[in-house]
Amino acid sequence: MRIFVALRRRAAASAALASRHGPRAAFAASAHCAARLLLLLLVVLAPLPALAVSSPADMLPDAALEDRARALGKELGCMVCQNQSIEDSEVGLARDLRLIVRERIAAGDSNVQVKSFLQARYGDFVLLRPPFAWSTAILWMTPVVALLFGLSLILAARRRMSAPAAAPLSAEEQARIAELDNQATLKSQDGTRA
């Protein structure tokens, strides 16, 4: 926080320098400012990769198994903070579940076995990608149903637009139109003459 305040002050100072001592002094000051900003970004962003939630003590010594555990954990939901995986959550229960995943993997369980172990306790909610079942049918089918509904609306609208043209006029009707036309022309001629 203090660094930000200092940076802002420095930027204000460089603007002041530009007005009083010309652009050169301002440039030097702002270069310094940019260097500081870069340093700040480095300091802030550098620890990000290390922020992965698992503490080293919790990881499996075998890198391949640890990778498997991590990939599997990404598919398992944290029950407390729903929609976050147990690998991304810092909640105590998520850590417990991470440890259980690693224990089961180290004990030789397959991915499917680990998943069904947790599913037996927490139900489908623990799986971030829910399985297809009758209870999840609505969830999976909604996009398809919505798409079909939209398509049927479009088709119905199209059919209405391209409805067959009205039957051609009969000779009698055409004669009547010609007669009306004639009368109209005569009337307008009357009008212009008057």
Partner 1 sequence: MTPLTRRILLSAPFLAVAAGGVGFYTALHRQRTGQYNPRGVPSALIGQAPPDFVLPALENSGVASFGAADLRGLPGPVIVNFWASWCVPCIIEHPQLMRLSRDGIAVFGIAYKDKPEDSLRFIRQHGNPFRRLAKDERGRVAIDWGVYGVPETYLLDRQGLIRWRFAGAITPEVLREDLRPLLLRHA
Helix axes 111-122, 92-106, angle to 10 degrees: 140
- Counting contacts by CB under 8 A, is residue 69 touching partner 1? no
Please report whether residue 112 would count as binding partner 1 according to CB under 8 A: no
Q: Which residues pair with 127 in a beta bridge?
A: 76
Residue from the set 79, 86, 101, 105 that interacts with partner 1 by CB under 8 A: 79
Query: Residues 6 or more apart from 130 whose CB is under 8 A from it?
Result: 124, 136, 139, 140
11-30 residues in contact with partner 1 (CB under 8 A) are none
- Rule CB under 8 A: is residue 127 a binding residue for partner 1? no
Query: Judged by CB under 8 A, does residue 86 bind partner 1?
Result: no
**Alpha-carbon gap, residue 52 to 69, rounded angstroms:** 14
Residue from the set 80, 153, 155, 157 that interacts with partner 1 by CB under 8 A: 80
* Site size toward partner 1, by CB under 8 A: 14
Rounded CA-CA distance 151/143 in Å is 12
User: Which stretch, 19-27, 104-112, 116-124, 174-182, contacts partner 1 (CB under 8 A)?
Assistant: 116-124
Q: How far apart are CA 180 and CA 182, in angstroms?
A: 5
The answer to the question of residue 84 lying near partner 1 (CB under 8 A) is no
